[in-house]
Amino acid sequence: MAKKIERCSFCGREKAQTNVLIAGLDAHICDYCVSQAQTIISEEITTKTNKQFTKIELQKPQEIKKFLDQYVIGQDEAKIVMAVAVYNHFKRITQKSPNHDDDVEIEKSNIIMVGETGTGKTLLARTIAKMLKVPFCIADATVLTEAGYVGEDVESILSRLLQVADYNVAAAEKGIIFIDEIDKIARKSDNPSITRDVSGEGVQQALLKLLEGSVVNVPPQGGRKHPEQRMIQIDTKNILFIAGGAFDGINKVIASRLRTNVIGYSFADGKDSVDKENLLQYISPPDLKKFGLIPEIVGRMPVVTFMHPLKKETLRKILTEPKNALIKQYTKLFEMDGIKLKVEDAVLDFIVDKSIEFRLGARGLRSIIEGILTDAMFELPSSKSAKELRIDINYAEEKFRKTNISKLRVA
């Protein structure tokens, strides 16, 4: 009886004609077919990525703001500025190449958002990411240093964007980058320093080429750990940069320019009254320069907007109204265990009052709720009889007293 010759079930090659013949239950596949299949899969994934990021739906500014309203309470001025910036960015990257008759080339308008911690700067950027058809990433400026020092190079920002775009360079070159904590790289004074400031002014100088628009060699896996890797060139002229920061202390700079005082009496007699409770609304580029941003950075981020400090009414709405409101999130968590959560209105007011008292902003709301509900979230999932949890003011106050937040001292 003749010996059965093993063949590749796809191309028909005999085992002797292949390097490796992989056996399955009822079939075989050779190394040539495996390699070809890998190429087909890679091309298919790239095609899907291209379709995901090249089909741009140009939404009008009012439509963008309506979407933001579903997730972010208040901050109408910042929403309008962001909506216009994103809309113009879409128009800019879809602009046809200038011809001889019309050589007008639209320049990008990078943005700086100024606001106290917990006012929603990062949330606003994340929410925009939900609706965009372009790659979007958030980078933290606090970890950036000059090249050659411990920390991350500014090119690592582009590496993150490239990863989001699944290493599709064309898509990454039309993306949006949100740089958080931009105020942390401000130089120590408005005067040029004779000493090396590797995590301040040095980073600002390195960011200039990214903000202005230039071809940058980007290490896809991080330049310091893999120095042998092949660099990828990315043109940043169509990448929109949005920066956010608390700029703690800039109120004094604004007050000085307005010739008023943060505390005490105002000497601006005969002039328009100044709202001392919200000096950030008077922010201007010269204030950012005096705070510690170099003039070149301020010039390359010409659009400046601000976030209002959150008042009691706004914080109250944040708890219940947005699509991803905190109370809705915890209600969903308990529903997964078959427990119905009910929170009284007095408890919501209590949570807001404590957040204002300890100056925690919107970010602090979650910490307070977590402290109140931790015991219940620990005990009730193991209880077979628990079907409903009602949180009243007595329960909330008792649980809050046990948390570390209640031991904070307000400065």
pLDDT tens, residue by residue, 255-284: 888 876 555 555 444 445 777 778 888 999
The rounded distance, in Å, linking the Cα atoms of 354 and 365 is: 8
pLDDT at residue number 54: 53
Neighbour count for residue 60 (Cβ, 10 Å): 10
In percent, the amount of the chain with pLDDT more than 90 equals 27
pLDDT at residue number 268: 47
pLDDT at residue number 55: 58
pLDDT at residue number 379: 92
Most confident range, picked from 32-46, 81-95, 306-320? 306-320
Average pLDDT value for residue range 85-103: 72
| N- to C-terminal Cα separation, the chain | 94
Q: Which CATH number fits domain 61-96+104-306: 3.40.50.300, 3.10.129.10, 3.40.50.1820, 3.50.50.60?
A: 3.40.50.300
Among the residue ranges 30-44, 108-122, 142-156, the one predicted with the least confidence is 142-156
The rounded distance, in Å, linking the Cα atoms of 226 and 13 is: 40
Burial (0-12, 13-18, 19+ Cβ within 10 Å), 346: middle
pLDDT band, residue 390 (cuts 50/70/90) = very high
Average pLDDT value for residue range 5-26: 87
Dihedral over alpha carbons 325, 329, 332, 337 (to 10 degrees): -160
The rounded distance, in Å, linking the Cα atoms of 116 and 280 is: 9
Among the residue ranges 102-116, 229-243, 292-306, 397-411, the one predicted with the least confidence is 397-411
The rounded distance, in Å, linking the Cα atoms of 304 and 111 is: 6
Q: How much of the chain is helix, strand and coil, in % rounded to 5?
A: 45, 10, 40
Phi, psi of 301 (to 5 degrees): -125, 75
pLDDT at residue number 14: 87
pLDDT over 70 (residue 40): yes
Phi, psi of 98 (to 5 degrees): -60, 140
pLDDT at residue number 267: 47
pLDDT band, residue 195 (cuts 50/70/90) = low
pTM for the whole thing?
0.74
pLDDT at residue number 204: 87
Class of domain 312-407: mainly alpha
pLDDT at residue number 375: 92
Question: How long is the chain?
Answer: 411
**Of 185 and 104, more confident:** 185
- What residues have CB less than 8 Å from 231, skipping those under 6 apart? 217, 218, 219
pLDDT over 70 (residue 52): no
Average pLDDT value for residue range 295-303: 90
Average pLDDT value for residue range 350-373: 88
pLDDT at residue number 262: 53
pLDDT at residue number 57: 65
Among the residue ranges 117-121, 196-200, 359-363, 378-382, the one predicted with the least confidence is 196-200
The rounded distance, in Å, linking the Cα atoms of 73 and 140 is: 24
Quick: pLDDT tens for 207-251: 888 898 888 888 776 555 556 667 888 999 889 999 999 898 898
- What residues have CB less than 8 Å from 354, skipping those under 6 apart? 360, 364, 368, 400, 405, 406
pLDDT band, residue 45 (cuts 50/70/90) = low
In 3-state terms, what secondary structure has residue 139?
Answer: strand
State the chain's mean pLDDT as an integer. Answer: 82
